[in-house]
Structure 1
Amino acid sequence: MSNEPVWERPEPSGKPSPTPLSRDLIVSAAIRLADAGGLDEVSFRKVAAALNAGPMRLYGYVETKDELLDLMVDEVYGEITPPPSSAGWREGLRHVAHGIRDATKRHEWFIDLLSNRPHQGPNALTHLETTLATVRFDDIDQVLGAVGAVMAYVFGAVRGEITELRAERSSGMTEEQWQRASGPYMQRMLATGRFPTLARVMHESSDTDPAHRFEIGLGYVLDGIATRHNLAWRPAGSASEPSAQSP
């Protein structure tokens, strides 16, 4: 096995073959399989079959499944557009947050691979660089703290959304159908008076859609960062942006 990262390893020299093969084709086929059936569908055998090639041919381009997963993740990172250069820290981080959520809506498996280990592909590094660069605080530790807080929220919120979607598919019931089915039990439990706050949630909370709930939670995190560093909100394109002040 090569010690050279897959990003820097040259592909095999082209050989005459009725079935063209490249690293890009392999990654694209793997992503299609994962999009259709999840990460369990990604194997060298299935990817090779999708490309009408023998599995052994793939090893010249990708040596392990972990490498293939890394390449897939990096491809999705490449779909996330960077924040506009004129954006302030708040607008920039909101842009990144929604970009990650949108990418995960297209590729549900993406969230399963985001926190297992650091990603060092060229697209992942570019994504990280542009995300950090949008937070123009003087102290780099404050930059890392702000970005880390937003990413922790994003990963958790998006994972929750995807988990709900998967549960809905596995049960065969929509959220509304599940609520109707569990309604009588919940009504009996709330009637005991032991759960007054949950009763308020059931009877008073707004039925917002997932995108709205995501934006509300993101706003709380961004407001918290602003409050901690005594930052005033400024619209995108402001001439200047205040530096973070130590709390």
Structure 2
Amino acid sequence: MTVWDRPEPPTRPVPLDRERIVAAAIALADEGGLEAVSLRKVAARLEVGPMRLYGYISTKEELFDLMVDEVHAEILPEERPGEWREALGLLAHRTRLAALRHEWLADLLGGRPSLGPNALAVGEATLAALDGLADIDTVMRAVETVNAYSTGAIRREIANVRAERATGLSKRDWQRASGPYLTRMLATGRYPALAKAVYDGTEVTAEESFATGLNWVLDTVAANLDRSSA
């Protein structure tokens, strides 16, 4: 029986339910990452004994599933755009913003599908946006492609955010510190393609990079949908 099927215990003298447990776990994860989350620490945050939680959640993995599903409620837009490209783009951007609010989400994206009601609603909205445009196998590959890009780009961005926090160096500070070494290496002439990228490339924000890459992926999806329907 999954955590979604298992009923909650009856109310006891100290009010407790899965909603409160998940909210406390998310607060801990937002503060210190997934390593800061344990049933013992969540119980301490709620000022109850750890054994009380086992009536609601059996394992830490179940707790993570509930946390991910709760954040999926932030991803699902109130109104679904009518055009498939806008719908998939909106969901990808909302996933990125949710991960920036809850950095730990990046560590849990890309694994087995989440089966909570909010995650299922996001999945339904994603597939519904493409419904009727191609056969189901083509639609599934399109969704997988967009999700793979979004997950990889989000994880890279979060990794950079964490690196800045761990080192205390902003991106600009890191570039200044690394500049002399990189300049010497590029001056050897062994890395002409890298030199062109460094000296001639346009620097963009993480948001701009994500949006550009997403548009290229959606262009590819559109081309394959057109071929499939031809």
Counterpart secondary structure, 1:12: coil
Residues of 2 paired with 1:180 and 1:193: CA distance?
21
Count of aligned positions: 229
1:87 is displaced (CA, Å) by 2.2
Task: Please say if 1:170 is aligned against 2:185.
Answer: no
- Correspondence for 2:145 among 146, 149, 160: 149
Stretches of 4+ aligned residues off by more than 6 angstroms: none
Query: For residues 52-201 of structure 1, what are the structure 2 equivalents within 5 Å?
Result: 52-82=47-77, 84-136=79-131, 137-201=133-197
1:40 is displaced (CA, Å) by 0.4
1:165 is displaced (CA, Å) by 0.8
1:133 is displaced (CA, Å) by 0.6
Residues of 1 paired with 2:28 and 2:116: CA distance?
21
The aligned residue for residue 26 of structure 2 is 31
- 8 Å contact kept, 1:48–1:55: yes
- Which structure has more helix as a fraction of its residues? 2
The aligned residue for residue 239 of structure 1 is none
Residues of 2 paired with 1:74 and 1:37: CA distance?
19
Q: Which amino acid aligns with 2:207?
A: A
Q: Which amino acid aligns with 2:22?
A: V
- 8 Å contact kept, 2:39–2:60: yes
1:93 is displaced (CA, Å) by 0.7
1:86 is displaced (CA, Å) by 4.3
Please, what TM-score do these two structures have when normalized by structure 2? 0.95
- 8 Å contact kept, 2:110–2:148: no
1:129 is displaced (CA, Å) by 0.8
Query: For residues 187-226 of structure 1, what are the structure 2 equivalents within 5 Å?
Result: 187-226=183-222
Q: Which runs of 5+ in 1 are unaligned?
A: 232-243
Residues of 2 paired with 1:14 and 1:88: CA distance?
45
Residues of 1 paired with 2:76 and 2:69: CA distance?
13
- Correspondence for 1:11 among 8, 29, 48: 8
Q: Which amino acid aligns with 2:167?
A: S
Residues of 2 paired with 1:39 and 1:5: CA distance?
21
Relative to structure 1, is the Cα distance of residues 118 and 229 closer, same or farther in structure 2, using a 3 angstrom cutoff? closer
Residues of 2 paired with 1:217 and 1:83: CA distance?
25
Residues of 1 paired with 2:127 and 2:206: CA distance?
26
Please, what TM-score do these two structures have when normalized by structure 1? 0.89
| CA deviation profile, 1:124-160 (whole Å, cap 9, x unmatched) | 1111011111013230111111111100000000000
Relative to structure 1, is the Cα distance of residues 26 and 143 closer, same or farther in structure 2, using a 3 angstrom cutoff? same
| CA deviation profile, 1:8-34 (whole Å, cap 9, x unmatched) | 2111111223xx211100000000000
Residues of 1 paired with 2:110 and 2:76: CA distance?
20
RMSD across aligned positions (CA): 1.4
1:205 is displaced (CA, Å) by 1.3
Relative to structure 1, is the Cα distance of residues 121 and 130 closer, same or farther in structure 2, using a 3 angstrom cutoff? same
Q: Which runs of 5+ in 2 are unaligned?
A: none
